[in-house]
Chains A and B, each alone.
Chain A
Amino acid sequence: QIQVVQSGPEVKKPGTSVKVSCKASAFTFSNSAMQWVRQARGQRLEWIGWIVLGSGKTEYAQKFEERVTLTRDVSTGTSYMELRNLRSEDTAIYYCAADKGGFDVWGQGTMVIVSS
């Protein structure tokens, strides 16, 4: 049974970067991807991007493509999302979801607060 565990909450200052990790257990990288989504308080879900875990190929939402980088570490089964040049509007819960074709299992979410 796939389980996805994300890193803990972060508080960051504007202009800095944050890196959120996501570890999926009982989950093989082959034929799989990791989706990244965020949700500001009371707002809709917002797709950030995805990474194909076998090849490392990425695709980003146009809104984020200049500030976000998705990576993965095959040896540890961990995926990462780095968001740079943070602004207050980036305050949100960030989710990853292990995807074997069906956006299968979501992580618990990571709260990122951007505040001076």
Chain B
Amino acid sequence: QAVVTQEPSLTVSPGGTVTLTCGSSTGAVTSGHYSYWFQQKPGQAPTTLIFDTRKKHSWTPARFSGSLVGGKAALTLSGARPEDEADYYCLLSYSSARPVFGGGTKLTVL
């Protein structure tokens, strides 16, 4: 099974911009991985922010965007707010149809 890696923790200032990344042990992440990004706040179920690399749900705040950067999937938060402090998980789909989660990034807004 592939290993999906994320930064364990990141800090961003209120109003600042931060990029979280998601890499794969099998090589470059491409659009074919249909990458997903989830937000999870303490004690809550996850919510899906991004799917298929860059698509947003109707509830996804405009300040979040998905992309591919340097062979990795990326989630960029522009204009961070205190309520964005959470754990963020990526998920990559593989040709085996068995997707794999990353280890998560704890984002602090400070």
Contact = CB atoms under 8 A, between A and B. Distances in A.
Interface residues of B, number: 22
Nearest to A59: B97
Interface stretch (A12-20, A43-51, A68-76): A43-51
Contacts of A77: none
A106 B46 contact: yes
A46 B99 CA distance: 9
Interface in A79-104: 95, 97, 101-104
A108 B99 CA distance: 21
Contact of A45 (B55, B57, B97, B101): B101
A104 B57 contact: yes
A103 B45 contact: no
A47 B101 contact: yes
A102 B47 CA distance: 11
B51 A103 contact: yes
B48 to A, nearest CB: 5
B47 A106 contact: yes
B98 A47 contact: yes
Contacts of A59: 97-98
B5 to A, nearest CB: 11
B101 A106 contact: no
A106 B48 contact: yes
B64 interface: no
Nearest to B98: A61
A30 interface: no
A102 B101 contact: no
B73 to A, nearest CB: 14
Contacts of A47: 91, 98-101
Given A44-B89, A59-B97, A104-B57, 8 more contacts: A37-B101, A44-B101, A45-B104, A46-B101, A59-B98, A103-B48, A106-B45, A107-B45
8 contacts: A44-B102, A59-B97, A59-B98, A62-B1, A101-B51, A102-B48, A103-B48, A108-B45
Interface of A: 37, 44-47, 59-62, 95, 97, 101-109
